[in-house]
Amino acid sequence: MSSEKISTRTKILKTTWKLLENGGGNAVRMADIAKAVKISRQALYLHFPNRADLLIATTRYLDEVHDIEEKLSASRSATSGTDRLEKWVDVWGNYIPNIYGISKALLAIKDTDKEAAAAWNDRMQAVRHGCAAAVSALKAENSLNASLTEEQATDLLWTLLSVRAWEQLRVECGWSQETYIAQMKETAARALVK
Amino acid sequence: MSSEKISTRTKILKTTWKLLENGGGNAVRMADIAKAVKISRQALYLHFPNRADLLIATTRYLDEVHDIEEKLSASRSATSGTDRLEKWVDVWGNYIPNIYGISKALLAIKDTDKEAAAAWNDRMQAVRHGCAAAVSALKAENSLNASLTEEQATDLLWTLLSVRAWEQLRVECGWSQETYIAQMKETAARALVK
DNA sequence: TATTTACTTGACACCGTGTCAAGTTGACAT
DNA sequence: ATGTCAACTTGACACGGTGTCAAGTAAATA
């Protein structure tokens, strides 16, 4: 509807996202993206210095489009600690599908590209903060599982809610998104709550 | 001690293992391995048709050396279901460090190499069977968490015990192996047992 | 002594990334 | 209409990594 006149840069970001979304993370080449945007491969390099930067920019673009911040704030409005935990699982767990494609691509280059690793870690730290906040709310009302320190509980929740775990359950095991969310809520509660 | 006269093939496998062990999964190149074995890069290709095959062969070699089968059978001797679950976490969880390096390399090429993906999946299915057996023992004594089907419980345990989860907790979060094992035992029990 | 086996040397094709230099095209300003 | 600037194109190329090929060497074996 809003066909203002999309900048090439935005077209590139949209297309990259779309290409990554449907399947292959690292299999998407610069040439593929250029072709899909209908510009020359070299024009890509006029907008982004390298593949890693393009992927990172796509990630930021995604966050912007989805307004992740606003969504995250929803879980902060919860009253009880357990409620907050559940809402947090809901919010983040339902955001993962949106970023799965790009995450896969970033994870794949993380080992060889320092900048990509930094960008990925940065985003994952944000998720970890969400986990920490939920854990802290549990702790505050004294309902945190006594055999876990606050930090360990955060680590555990963070791992439970990792993109990798989501991938394994949804893709390898064929779980539906609903099942994933429901089971994660319960598992998180069982693991963390007294 | 047993310096019988190690075949070049075995030297290659040992060296590949060693190189992968200390750090970089996909950063280890064919040339690096050749150099470390002190043969020409081309000699590598006389023994293994390609990198993926070498990695797969290294995995099998590792399993052989560690006699994984024997270790797995230990968990089968458990009496109660909960005991069995705990033993299973112990066995597999303590085996992961041995295969972490090679796993990382295989996981990295899994997306582009069909054969590597098949080899990896094959091994992971074996782990899944271990998980299924533990879950089945719980079910048999009617102590399986009622909100999980047997298959879901298996999927969940399998994900909890994945190499990725191990990596995240041990490497990213800096957990000790002991902490990992202890917490995993408890988390698995909390998640799966009634 | 001839043959075979295991290996070496060096060249090369292929792919994907990233770089460079020289054009083209359209908009806008004078 | 002319000049100029920005965005883009075209085509070539270097680099690193994988995998292939052909010819040569050297030690063990027949």
> Per residue in B90-114, pLDDT tens?
999 999 999 999 999 999 999 888 8
Whether pTM exceeds 0.75: yes
Q: Testing the interface with B: which of A20, A26, A111, A185 to mutate, by most B Cβ within 10 A?
A: A111
Looking at residue A54, its amino acid is: L
Residue B51, nucleotide of least CA–C1' distance = D18
State chain A's mean pLDDT as an integer.
92
- pLDDT per residue as tens digits for the range B120-134: 998 999 999 999 999
Between CA B141 and CA B126 the distance in angstroms is: 23
- pLDDT per residue as tens digits for the range B61-95: 998 998 887 877 777 777 888 999 999 999 999 99
Strand D nucleotides within 7 Å of a protein CB: 7-12, 17-22
- pLDDT per residue as tens digits for the range B135-190: 999 999 999 999 999 999 999 999 999 999 999 999 999 999 999 999 999 999 99
pLDDT at A177: 98
Residue B1 has pLDDT above 50, yes or no: no
Helix (H, G, I), strand (E, B) or coil at B106: helix
**Quick check: B47 CB within 7 A of strand D?**
no
Spell out the long-range contacts of B22-30 with Cβ–Cβ below 8 A and sequence spacing 24 or more: B22/B101, B23/B101, B24/A111, B25/A111, B25/B101, B25/B103, B25/B104, B25/B105, B25/B107, B25/B108, B26/A111, B26/A112, B26/B104, B26/B105, B26/B108, B26/B109, B27/A111, B27/A112, B28/B105, B30/B54
Between CA B156 and CA A193 the distance in angstroms is: 18
Handedness of CA A27, A60, A176, A22 (dihedral sign): negative
- pLDDT per residue as tens digits for the range A16-65: 999 999 778 889 999 999 999 999 999 999 999 999 999 999 999 998 99
pLDDT at B114: 87
For residue A96, the tally of other CB atoms under 10 A from its CB is: 20
**Quick check: B29 CB within 7 A of strand D?**
yes
- pLDDT per residue as tens digits for the range B15-48: 999 999 977 888 999 999 999 999 999 999 999 9
**Spans in chain A with pLDDT lower than 50:** 1-4
A169 closest CB neighbour out of B155, B179, B191: B155
Q: Which two tokens stand for residue A158?
A: 């963070």
pLDDT at A5: 64
pLDDT at A72: 76
CA A159 to chain B, closest CA, distance in angstroms equals 6
B57 and chain A: CB distance < 8 Å anywhere? no
Residues forming a β-bridge with B193: B144
Between CA B119 and CA B141 the distance in angstroms is: 34
pLDDT at B5: 65
- Distance of A115 CA from D4 C1′ (whole Å): 38
pLDDT at A3: 40
